[in-house]
Amino acid sequence: MNGSTTALPAVRVGADGRRRVDARAVLRLAAPLMVTNAIQAALNLTDTWFIGRISTEAVAAMGSIYWLMTAVIFLLGGVGFAVQSFVSQAYGGGRRVRAAQAAWNGIWAGLACWPLFALVAWSGVALLRPFSLDPSIQGLAIAYWEPRMYGAVLGTLGWAMMSFFNGIGATRITLTVAVVTLLANIPANHYFMSELGYGMAGAAYGTNAAQALGLLVGAAFFLGPRYAGRYRTRLAWRPTPSIIRRQLAVGLPVGVTYAADVLGVALMQMMVTQVGKVGAAATQVVMMLTSLAYMPTLGLASAGTTVVGQAIGAGDRDWAAQIGTFVTRCCAGLMLGMALLLLLLSPWLLPGFLAGGDASAGEAIALALLLLWPAAAYQFFDGLYFGSSFALRATGDTAVPARTALLLSWLFFLPLAHTLVFTAEQAWVPGLPQAGLGALGGWIALMAYAMLLGTLMYRRWRSERWRRIDLWDR
């Protein structure tokens, strides 16, 4: 059953009477989110820049744990991502109080994850021991890991709260919070790393402090008179087990999807780090640079979650299918353009992220320039992956994408990376064929994996099996 055209997001009617996507309306919604995610990339680059002032070993240490750390945060924070799906559908259906309830229950579920984050922080040495890292690199990695994991719950709470604003289309508030966080991160890093002399640990403390301030700013908006009046945000705070169960049913697979993806990358970086610190440092810098491509695209994809969810909430799944496909294709095109831009600008950008006086810096920069080529090759498919997976998230179709990402990461990407990165003497699993390509082999494996994952996720979206899912009554 089709909903009213006037109630649908980003729709315009042409002279022929046919509905078309209002690209400008999508852009107005997406632009603050694109800037928000670009700011997140800047936060990552800020940490990398500060850590790069310590040594190439410090950058390598960051690289050895960056994706492992991100995988843990995604896995335990998936319920925060699910909030946007519930809020957008509630908003599309005109149920404002239900939207506030979804946000609050996401916050309660996020708080319940803190003991798990604390356990992971305490287990850092045991988690890294199997990877045989150089002792100096492992020491630096643990110095960052522990305080960052203790404070990671702040990110989960922030996702839940910002997902409320994204779901109702108030994306400028999300941007405001991101700007505050970025502006706070720079002096916080300087204070904890330099003034207090905490070094690597100081970068983690600085990030935690900046996220805490951003969360407070978001809470001021959420509980302020505007949203308290329209959405009853001050009255909808009580935990509702049925809503939490539904959000977990959607959010946990989302967390698994991204955790499987980034954990595979984390283990690939571990392999590269074991081969040598130059490859590890080069890989970390390229990872940070490619985030300049995918972070803005994540903003566009997040806008896709909002408009798809609002269309479903308004009762028009045909429009949800049309606008979801439009946003996904835009994500792929944006990633392709950003990849070309990175290839052009990388000779000027790369030298800024490694200490000039370090003897290994020149070698790491030269290798990073080579690694950017396979990295650029898969950006289009990453766009398909982001756009499709975010659209599927809006519908509640998250279990099959999670299984797809998990199987591809563990049964295809990691075995291929192991074969391409290591020599026979370095291999974790003896007896397998080994190409010994080092960091380049890892990036070739990542390129193949991203191309396959993006293609399969787009096919899942286009199959439209999500039409049978009722998110709020599942």
Mean pLDDT for the stretch of residues 158-168: 94
- What are 253-299's pLDDT values in tens digits? 998 888 888 888 888 988 998 888 889 888 988 987 887 778 788 88
H/E stretch holding 11: strand 11-13
What residue has token string 């969810």? 309
Amino acid at 78: G
**What is the average pLDDT value for the chain, to the nearest integer?**
89
Closest by CA to 85, choosing from 400, 403, 470, 458, is 470
Report the pLDDT value the prediction gives residue 4, as an integer from 0 to 100. 43
Mean pLDDT for the stretch of residues 374-397: 95
Closest by CA to 456, choosing from 410, 396, 392, 395, is 392
- What are 286-311's pLDDT values in tens digits? 987 887 778 788 889 999 999 999 99
Are 29 and 23 in contact by the 8 Å Cβ rule? The answer is no
Report the pLDDT value the prediction gives residue 399, as an integer from 0 to 100. 93
Are 51 and 66 in contact by the 8 Å Cβ rule? The answer is no
Are 422 and 439 in contact by the 8 Å Cβ rule? The answer is no
Query: Which pTM does this prediction carry?
Result: 0.85
Report the pLDDT value the prediction gives residue 258, as an integer from 0 to 100. 83
Residue 104: pLDDT band (50, 70, 90) is very high
Are 41 and 185 in contact by the 8 Å Cβ rule? The answer is no
Amino acid at 187: P
Residue 89 has pLDDT above 50, yes or no: yes
- Measured CA to CA in angstroms, residue 454 lies from 254, 257, 385, 408, 460 at distances of 16, 13, 4, 11, 10
CA dist 138 and 443 (Å) reads 23
Length reported for the chain: 474
Report the pLDDT value the prediction gives residue 74, as an integer from 0 to 100. 85
Residue 62 has pLDDT above 70, yes or no: yes
Report the pLDDT value the prediction gives residue 3, as an integer from 0 to 100. 42
What residue has token string 């990376």? 417
Cβ atoms within 10 A of the Cβ of 474, count?
10
- What are 448-466's pLDDT values in tens digits? 999 999 999 999 999 999 9
| DSSP reduced 3-state for 203 | helix
Q: Which DSSP string do the residues of 111-141 spell out, in sequence order?
A: HTTHHHHHHHHHTHHHHHGGG---HHHHHHH
Report the pLDDT value the prediction gives residue 100, as an integer from 0 to 100. 96
For residue 88, give every residue at least 6 positions away whose Cβ sits within 8 Å of its Cβ, in sequence order, or none. 166, 167, 168, 305, 306, 307, 308, 309, 310, 313, 394
Q: What angle do CA 404, 405, 409 make, to 5 degrees?
A: 120
Least confident residue range of 4-13, 217-226, 308-317: 4-13
Report the pLDDT value the prediction gives residue 5, as an integer from 0 to 100. 45
Report the pLDDT value the prediction gives residue 249, as an integer from 0 to 100. 87
Least confident residue range of 19-23, 137-141, 237-241: 137-141
Q: Is 430 exposed, middle or buried (0-12, 13-18, 19+ CB in 10 A)?
A: exposed
Q: Is 97 exposed, middle or buried (0-12, 13-18, 19+ CB in 10 A)?
A: middle
- CB under 8 A, 24+ apart: contacts of 404-410: 404/453, 404/456, 404/457, 404/460, 405/256, 405/257, 405/258, 405/260, 405/261, 405/453, 406/256, 406/257, 406/260, 408/449, 408/452, 408/453, 408/456, 409/260, 409/261, 409/263, 409/264, 409/449, 410/260, 410/264
Q: Which residue has the higher pLDDT, 138 or 88?
A: 88
- What are 416-444's pLDDT values in tens digits? 999 999 998 988 888 888 999 999 999 99
Closest by CA to 265, choosing from 155, 375, 345, is 375
Report the pLDDT value the prediction gives residue 474, as an integer from 0 to 100. 56
